[in-house]
Amino acid sequence: MRNISELNMLLRAQAELPVGLKVTTDEFREGWKFVRTTNAKRLEKKIQTHGWNFIRIADGSLRSGIGETSQQAISGALKLALRRVNERFNAVEVEHIEITRYPWFFLARVRVYPYLLQQGAEIPEPDEAVPSLGASRQDSLPPFVVEPFPPSNSAMPTPRQKLVSSQCA
């Protein structure tokens, strides 16, 4: 098994790369490959020389894993972190690894930051992130909620009203 350390870069197996860019990779898990002998800065320079963009997304993912060795724990945490990376992002950087040793196992915390490797400079927005203009709050409530709060003329909400209110929270 390959030693996983901070500043390792991983690419999705199906990630499209610029024509002519040679990147040596090692298989990891679940459709991800380690990029050999390079970190984010080096990979960014190589990509930019081919006219593409390498955009870091600010929000990282922190996950924990356990194992009999520190590398097994790191590998498990990295596997969980990679599962949380949105499919739009085709690269990640392992930025932080924290190991705690216990008598019978190791606990690893791994933080990864997603990157977008693409030809254009625009960051595509997901459809659900675009707010609909002119939609009122009542239009955005789920169809099973009649009123978001109990009626103002009742002193105490009924259990049914409490249940409905808790569903929209």
Provide the CATH number for the domain around residue 98. Answer: 3.30.1660.10
Q: Is residue 127 part of a domain?
A: no
Q: Which residue has the higher pLDDT, 70 or 133?
A: 70
Which residues touch 161 (CB under 8 Å, ≥6 apart)? 150
Residue 156 confidence (pLDDT): 54
Residue 152 confidence (pLDDT): 52
Q: Tens of pLDDT along 109-161?
A: 999 999 998 886 666 565 444 333 444 444 444 444 444 445 555 555 555 44
The structural domain count of the chain equals: 2
Residue 24 confidence (pLDDT): 83
Q: Are residues 92 and 24 in the same domain?
A: yes
Residue 126 confidence (pLDDT): 53
The torsion defined by the Cα of 27, 3, 54 and 25, in degrees rounded to 10, comes to -30
Q: Are residues 63 and 144 in the same domain?
A: no
Question: Whole-prediction pTM value?
Answer: 0.66
Q: Are residues 29 and 80 in the same domain?
A: yes
Q: Is residue 13 part of a domain?
A: yes
| pLDDT value at 92 more than 60 | yes
Q: Are residues 96 and 162 in the same domain?
A: no
Q: Tens of pLDDT along 13-51?
A: 888 888 888 888 888 887 899 888 677 888 888 888 888
Query: pLDDT grade, residue 164 (50/70/90)?
Result: very low
Residue 121 confidence (pLDDT): 62
Q: Are residues 38 and 82 in the same domain?
A: yes
Q: Is residue 86 part of a domain?
A: yes
Q: Is residue 152 part of a domain?
A: yes
Q: Are residues 105 and 157 in the same domain?
A: no
| pLDDT value at 162 more than 50 | no
Q: Are residues 111 and 141 in the same domain?
A: no
Q: Are residues 80 and 152 in the same domain?
A: no
Q: Is residue 111 part of a domain?
A: yes
Q: Which residue has the higher pLDDT, 5 or 105?
A: 105
Q: Which domain holds residue 147?
A: 137-167
| pLDDT value at 73 more than 90 | yes
